[in-house]
Chains A and B, each alone.
Chain A
Amino acid sequence: MTAGAPRAAGAMVEFDGVGLRYGPDAEILRDISFNLQPGSFYFLTGASGAGKTSLLKMLYLAQRPSRGIVRLFGEDLVAMPRDRLPGFRRRIGVVFQDFRLIPHLSARDNIALPLRIAGVNEEDLAGPVGEMLSWIGLGDRAEAHPATLSGGEQQRVAIARAVIARPQLLVADEPTGNVDPDMAMRLLGLFEALNRLGTTVVVATHDIHLISRIENAQMMRLEKGRLSDPTGALRYPPANRV
């Protein structure tokens, strides 16, 4: 392992010597090694183009690495057959930088999507979806379509969709990039509340001020495709600390 990432027992995510390249170009991520512990909160920072989104793509199983080992929930995902991936994806919530709401579905249906895909009955999902709409402050806009929602409202719907199925791992790519500072703090509060309930959270952000708002959050920094470890969280994950 590079970057001093010891094999941590019970790690939710393990990256070991991971590299990623698109086509014949040079690697955009090199020798990435780290462990993420269950129930922890991580920030991923770095300049634009440093490879944050590419790293997150591997975390939420949209991309396989070009080399190295990726383990998620204790299983090697590099060699895993495609047909087993959906089961793992259902344990991961993703907030995309560009929201990726389905435009012809209402806010309610967008939020309900992960539960429907997981086969939850309509009677059983009505309650949680209603609660989630209230939680994000869009109870009165449940039937609105994304095109009629503001950027902040779309962001909240995207976050609600990511967390409705109570994922074990939540990955958010610049989740506060399109909202004002007040809304950013409220959204961060949602993530923190989820984290307290046991969800491991990884948030990629440019906003250094956000990081100080979460107690015990760890920081990973990507620079030119390599991962640095300013808080020591990668070398000494919280569970391994003395």
Chain B
Amino acid sequence: MLIPRVPVQHRRLLPDRRLSGPTPWVVAILMMLTLLAAAAGVGLARSADAIGSAIAGRVTVQIVTANPVTRAEQAAALRRAAAAQPFVLAARAVDREELQATLGQWFGSEASGDGGADPVLNSLPLPALVDIDFVGEDRSGHMAQLRTLVAAEAPGARIIPHAEWLGPVARLIGSLAWIAGGLVVLMTLASAAVVIMTARAALGTHYATIEMLHLIGATDRQITRLFQRRIAIDTAYGIALGTAVAAALLLLIGWQWSGVTSGLAATASLGPTGWVLLLALPLLAIALAALTARQTLLAALKKIL
């Protein structure tokens, strides 16, 4: 039980000064920061995973043959040949319009989706690109087979594994996710430290009462439950407050994030597991607070005969 049951008459042994101390407020702040860090960690981890799986088995073959007709023929031949291979999941030739649209964003063309109308872009000798997704996990074996295929269908073409240029970004995002996880652990430890200090302060404040209770035959368990209940309730108030503020902030961020549909940012989301984890954190925090308070109180009471 997270908050132990104590008879009403026993509860009166401690004066009722709920929410009068700093504990609920400090716990609220820590809980809010913990949930925000956890949300950031989950979002970043999912983003890193999404990027990682998207790039892990994908390569782009860049055909730079000078003659545009030959270049187009080589691209079409390579796409057909690649699509027929058992180690290839999918092969797709990237349209010139798609390339121009992408480049148009960098060249400042008026409409990025209408890059083809830009005379500068039209004058550029763009390479032909073929995106290839591999089947399964044997990436190195597949690469060797693809090199043979490319050498036959489009000599001189370059094979660019996506992991080469997006890998560092995925690793950075993964590192940020770990840092967020580390922050969650640190703030959890800080919360536990707050509970320990609260328990010790409560013991100090009520030492005379505790000593009296001991001398009339109260057990450590009876005394511990009394204080554990009070600390768990105070902490639960703080956790509820922190959770409410964090939830409001996350919903606001989520609402704003929903407008982001492009690039790497679109891969960041909490997902059902993330939400379950975030909802479980406050309950785990209350359980941790109750357990920490119990162990602190029992350890302190053992020093008294």
Contact = CB atoms under 8 A, between A and B. Distances in A.
Given A82-B302, A85-B305, A116-B9, A102 B209 contact: yes
B217 A87 contact: yes
A100 interface: yes
Nearest to A100: B212
Contacts of B209: 102
B305 A63 contact: yes
Contacts of B218: 86, 117
Contacts of B305: 61-64, 82, 85
Contacts of A90: 216-217
B208 A100 contact: yes
B215 A89 contact: yes
Interface string A23-39: 00000000000000000
23 contacts: A61-B215, A61-B305, A63-B305, A64-B305, A83-B220, A85-B305, A87-B217, A89-B214, A90-B217, A94-B216, A102-B13, A102-B212, A105-B12, A109-B9, A109-B12, A113-B13, A113-B212, A113-B213, A113-B216, A114-B217, A116-B9, A117-B217, A117-B218
Interface string A106-122: 00010011101110001
A117 B215 contact: no
Interface of B: 7, 9-10, 12-13, 15, 208-209, 211-220, 222, 302, 305
A191 interface: no
B11 to A, nearest CB: 11
A60 interface: yes
Complex A-B, nearest 7 residue pairs according to Cβ-Cβ distance, in ascending order:
A90-B217, A89-B217, A104-B15, A86-B217, A114-B216, A86-B219, A117-B218
Contacts of B212: 100, 102, 113
- Interface bin, chain A: 20 to 34
A91 to B, nearest CB: 8
A173 to B, nearest CB: 12
Nearest to A90: B217
A94 B9 contact: no
Q: Which of A82, A83, A118 has the most CB of B within 10 A?
A: A82
A204 to B, nearest CB: 16
B9 A122 contact: yes
Nearest to A122: B9
B208 A118 contact: no
A161 B219 CA distance: 18
Contacts of A116: 7, 9-10
Contact of B216 (A83, A105, A117): A117
B217 A118 contact: yes
A57 to B, nearest CB: 9
A118 B216 CA distance: 9
Contact of A105 (B13, B215, B220, B302): B13
Interface string A146-167: 0000000000000001000000
Given A100-B212, A113-B216, 11 more contacts: A60-B215, A83-B219, A86-B214, A86-B218, A90-B217, A102-B209, A104-B15, A105-B13, A112-B9, A116-B7, A117-B218
Contacts of B222: 117
A117 B213 contact: yes
Contacts of A161: 216
Contacts of A89: 214-217
Contacts of A83: 219-220
A61 B10 CA distance: 23
B147 to A, nearest CB: 75
Nearest to B209: A102
A105 B213 CA distance: 13
